[in-house]
Amino acid sequence: MNKFFTKKFSIIIFIFVPIMFLWHPNWLGFVGFQPYWPLFWLLPWSMINGSINGLILGLFLGLILDSLTLDNNFTQIPGLMLCGFWFGRIKLHSDFLVGHFRYGFICALGSFLCGTLYFSQILFKNFSDSTFLLFIPSIQNILAEVFLTGFFAPLICSQLFRIFKFSGRN
Amino acid sequence: MLNIRRISTSRWWSKKKNWILFIVFIFLVFVRISKGSIYKDFYYFISKPFWPGPYQKEIILKSIEQESLIKLNLLKNDNIRLREILSLQKSLDNDNISAAVISRKTGSWWRQIILNKGSKDGVEIGSTVIGPGGLLGRVNNTSLFTSSVILLTSPESKVGVWLDRTQINGLMIGLGDEYPSLILYSKDADIKVGDFVSSSPASTLFPPNIPIGIVQSIDKSSQAKKIAKISLLAKPQVIDWVQILRVKIE
């Protein structure tokens, strides 16, 4: 049982990604905004398992998260798949400190990519004369999410990376 | 013989890993099609110990009292108007369902709350959800134990509303922030900061006269229409208990 848990730790944490997404804890956010949780799991996992696995798990994460949100017209799948593929091509940095900050930078860029793709879908769907009303709140949403994701990533991703690597070795 | 064997083992279907991936993919597609019902029910059970307790009842009762006073005033005005014009929408009130908020997404793109009452308790898609203060949104999806509510602040939300002072209909659209926009399709529409906004008697989605919000600011840049920012009375980010109205709009 113990061996199972150490070996499948990445899968157990994978199940917790949608729960964090649903839970939306206010004390981990900032003025109602939250970091983009799926990227914290996807980055270390893709770095260890490569681009193709990152792409597939990006698809799986997207499918689950889409099913939990009500917006049937918009999807998170393209952003997560692209991020999964891109994260798989990133190698670990030798410098400990630079590596930590790199997690933050990469996750912030990934969050920006996902946010922009999601926003472009909203724009495409609601294209009318009142579209301009959406711009300011949407840009605020993207920037807040980018900031928070980049802020938390060094801490969470580095820990998850160590755990995944350790569980993979066992 | 050896060659045939080598080819057959290199096909994708002969690999166990690919089959597992395929089955997982099919399962996730099923989850997606069922709109996460399994996941939400799973979340219902694991979040049960953290649901809001009864100590909040007092605060909520106070808010409900304030809301009732506003509603009473609105209903009085509406009644007078209805006696004059007899061709307005009617609503039939049945019993309401009280539900606790078990998940809340009030920031970013996804503005929704999940309640601990589902189809098992008689919640139907399209039911109106109100909280202390007024209207919160509509039930958009139900699972056996939970129901998901799309909030007025969501970019997907478009609601017909009514300006109480001047009795003009307008469209309130969510923008993904805390303040939805009210669009009045007339440049001469009489609207002031502080005007009270409620659900429209002409709306086919909501029962009439549910308090929604107050006009916070007016954008004067538009020529053909008037756009105003609305401050909502019900704050979904702090509300823990809501009422699901079982109302039939005729």
CATH code where residue B112 lies: 2.40.10.340
**A91: which DSSP letter?**
P
Domain count, chain B: 1
> B101 lies in a domain?
yes
Residues of chain A numbered 84-143 and touching chain B (CB < 8 Å): 115, 118-119, 122, 126, 130, 133-134, 137-138, 140-141
Single-letter code of the amino acid located at B202: A
> B177 lies in a domain?
yes
| Domain region containing B162 | 34-250
Q: pLDDT tens for residues B41-81? A: 888 888 877 776 655 666 677 778 778 888 888 887 777 77
**A26: which DSSP letter?**
G
Instruction: Considering only the beta carbons, identify the residue of A29, A115, A137 that sits closest to B175.
Output: A137
Instruction: Considering only the beta carbons, identify the residue of B35, B43, B176 that sits closest to A138.
Output: B176
> B170 lies in a domain?
yes
| Mean pLDDT, rounded, for A113-126 | 86
Least confident of A34-48, A91-105, B94-108, B153-167: A91-105
B-chain residues near A16 (CB < 8 A): none
Give the residues across from B161 on adjacent strands. Answer: B170, B199
Residue to substitute from A21, A34, A67, interface B, most B β-carbons within 10 A: A67
Q: Is the pTM of this model over 0.80?
A: no
> B16 lies in a domain?
no
> B199 lies in a domain?
yes
Q: Express as a percent the part of chain A with pLDDT over 90.
A: 22
- Cβ–Cβ under 8 Å, residues B150 and B143: no
User: What is the DSSP code string of chain B?
Assistant: -HHHHHHHHHSGGG-HHHHHHHHHHHHHHHHHHTTTHHHHHHHHHHHGGGS--GGGHHHHHHHHHHHHHHHHHHHHHHHHHHHH---S--EEEEEEEEEEEEEEE-SSS--EEEES--GGGT--TT-EEEETTEEEEEEEEE-SS-EEEEETTSTT-EEEEEETTTTEEEEEE--SSSSPEEEES-TT----TT-EEEE-TT-SSS-TT-EEEEEEEEE---SSSEEEEEEESS-TTT--EEEEEEEEE-
ipTM > 0.95, yes or no: no
| Mean pLDDT, rounded, for A148-156 | 90
